[in-house]
Structure 1
């Protein structure tokens, strides 16, 4: 839900990463959280990604991600109560290893959806992966009988490298479902579903999303009332985080697991910033999970994006820093205190280019950038600040294809020497030659 729920990134017709995974992991098994998993041709988790597991920044006291998490939880605890008790339950220690059924099938994500590709996700094997969104736990929680809950944790996606993208980030996803008597407390004559829909046999009715205003099974009154509640609640959340005067706008969106769907943007620092995606949960998901007589809304947002905007943090890597100069700025603060991050010091960048000829059976259009980014990150670690595709070239005579990337190195806590950078850069060159069968120019 929103780009923070499911990100559609280009699909490559060839995946070169299989060679790289072969040389970096055991050929038959992979151990994650003391559990052994059989590997296969889909396995593409790198040692660097595994090193981020169990860091739990969203639960780490005084980390800006954790501060934002607590502010969001407090909003829902205070805004939704019954008999003096909060009606939302919170799940923030769910295992990040999920099945493809949890991450995709339970959410009606089509087999050919780009978000399923190896270039987007970190697969343990063909049937198991590191969750790409917290919504992966939605159906299991619904099956357990829950109706209002927040899912909070770390999610994993293969992506570009720059100051706002990292292969691990943190999400809050939520579901609120209501029965007829809850939704229509003051209008008992209204119905959740259209007359032809039988909630006791939902699979006998083919639900459709052809109408932009609602799902075919839902009554218009139920959909509109849920939409009003959803948008009112989320505007309240944004006001709680950014202040009552922040401007906002709703943008129509499409997600496989909700309809209708929207993205919420706020006007912040002279730009429109997307903060979350949301919508009315597809009834098929609810029916498959058990509650056939309810209607629900859901939303998802990224904690890093909110924290970076709120506290003026310029680089997403800082969230992982244990440097006292960074950590101390968020220690012993009141939860809603206004904090503006101040750079401890500014260390210079080092930039090295890397150019290579592709194998004869690979072109500049079929080479998968995310495979290259993962390799660079795995070899260079957190001193890799950014990787940019600088140039594409096809030799006019030989027709060989070449790519050139600029790799920007910067340590967050000290100055890197050019000699250090050159050594790491040379290791990256060796790794890409072995992994992708390229020829360094």
Structure 2
């Protein structure tokens, strides 16, 4: 199965999908309060950080039907292209397919889009006509592009079916925007920002969601740029990177105290995290580093050095807009969406209601194959965004070596009060699905 130049196996998707997936030639964008809105992705990552709702009618409730055909930046994708129950390698549920193509980062009145544009403004102002912007690349990529091209080790946990959504054994929903990095380098781009929706199987709580948004920045330097400085290439790139990102942090958060923390990423060396002191605590803003030379050499940059950074847009938007629950980003409730306007960074979210949660406990004997991410996928598949949190509250092993887990599920709608009847039905359906799909024995 040959990999196409667009990073996908020909056997993975229909021909018409591939025909529309080429990275188009971008244009330089003049500094503007409204940067490029239509335009191509950083590794496991620099980033720290679905289902349809209940059918009960409510005046403020938005519905998210599972469609069978969607348009992703002009690419027509059938549900059967992504959700394949007959393929044992496929673990993409209907609820994740329904999020493809929504692209919150391309909505100028949405907190994610507002933050993206604020970052664009910074780079347009401080590096005019330098950084190309890509925000419309299809999230369906090859395993090679998602992992191999950015030097993710073969045994890295992120490659597992527990962490990544696989369409087939060679094709995934990107788990970071760096999945496009190698292709952009091969095409000759040297300064670029890449924004996109990314997908990871994850826990259920107020700060985690299986779909979120990232931005990557990448800059390549030629020898004459660092030789004139009297510094070695790596030091020059690292100093340039830190200066650029300190300026970005001040642009977003104001005059804040900052510190750099050494860390590790498989695709950069040295690697750093930038933290700021904000609202009386240290906050990790982003990860970054000097790109591994192997990545540059593989993609035709033999004599260059480069830096890269990556940040999670939801993580920063939750802080800047004071949004308490990550599920709110996906709400169509006018009481949420009407609070934000294009270009207005940092408008503080005003809670419009706080409906009470309903807690249900579930205990079962686990098998060796049990994982918490699989449990959360089952819960999301039944309860969708009504599942606010899944938390392990008790675990013990008996004399026979059998281990029991007890999980507490918090159900809560952000838009209405839930009835006892629907919560009891949800919990019953969750119990049945957990027992049938996860090979556990309910207690």
TM-score range, shorter chain: 0.7 to 0.9
Matched, 1:77 2:79: no
Contact 2:95 2:381 in 1 (8 A): yes
Please state how far the C-alpha of 1:418 moved relative to its aligned partner: 1.9
Matched, 1:142 2:185: yes
Contact 1:58 1:170 in 2 (8 A): yes
Structure-2 residue corresponding to 1:214: none
Please state how far the C-alpha of 1:74 moved relative to its aligned partner: 1.1
Q: 1:2 to 1:241 in 2, by over 3 A?
A: farther
Match of 2:380 among 370, 377, 385: 377
Matched, 1:33 2:82: no
Paired with 1:122 and 1:5, the residues of 2 have a C-alpha distance of 19
Paired with 1:275 and 1:40, the residues of 2 have a C-alpha distance of 39
Matched, 1:263 2:252: no
Match of 1:389 among 376, 389, 392: 392
Paired with 1:113 and 1:399, the residues of 2 have a C-alpha distance of 29
Aligned pairs, number: 376
Within 5 Å, give how 1:249-328 maps onto structure 2: 249-328=259-338
Matched, 1:335 2:344: yes
Structure-2 residue corresponding to 1:235: 246
Structure-2 residue corresponding to 1:15: none
SS across alignment from 1:36: helix
SS across alignment from 2:425: helix
Please state how far the C-alpha of 1:4 moved relative to its aligned partner: 5.0
Deviations 1:168-189 (A, max 9, x none): 11000111001012334x45xx
Within 5 Å, give how 1:184-195 maps onto structure 2: 184=227, 186-187=228-229
Contact 1:103 1:136 in 2 (8 A): yes
Matched, 1:46 2:46: no
Contact 2:380 2:387 in 1 (8 A): yes
Please state how far the C-alpha of 1:322 moved relative to its aligned partner: 0.7
> Where in structure 1 are there 5+ consecutive unaligned residues?
9-30, 191-219
Match of 1:5 among 37, 41, 46: 46
Please state how far the C-alpha of 1:2 moved relative to its aligned partner: 8.4
TM-score (norm 2): 0.81
Please state how far the C-alpha of 1:127 moved relative to its aligned partner: 0.7
Paired with 1:255 and 1:114, the residues of 2 have a C-alpha distance of 13
Match of 1:173 among 216, 225, 233: 216
Please state how far the C-alpha of 1:270 moved relative to its aligned partner: 1.7
Paired with 1:426 and 1:105, the residues of 2 have a C-alpha distance of 42
Structure-1 residue corresponding to 2:175: 132
Contact 1:65 1:304 in 2 (8 A): yes
TM-score (norm 1): 0.81
> Where in structure 2 are there 5+ consecutive unaligned residues?
1-41, 50-74
Q: If you compute each CA radius of gyration, which structure gives the higher value, 1 or 2?
A: 1
SS across alignment from 1:298: strand
What do you get for the CA RMSD once the two structures are aligned?
Answer: 2.2
Paired with 1:76 and 1:374, the residues of 2 have a C-alpha distance of 38
Match of 2:136 among 83, 87, 93: 93
Paired with 2:385 and 2:365, the residues of 1 have a C-alpha distance of 27
Please state how far the C-alpha of 1:367 moved relative to its aligned partner: 2.1
Contact 2:140 2:171 in 1 (8 A): yes
Please state how far the C-alpha of 1:248 moved relative to its aligned partner: 1.1
Paired with 2:320 and 2:45, the residues of 1 have a C-alpha distance of 17
Please state how far the C-alpha of 1:159 moved relative to its aligned partner: 1.1
Larger mean CA deviation between 426-435 and 31-40 belongs to: 31-40
Contact 2:259 2:274 in 1 (8 A): yes
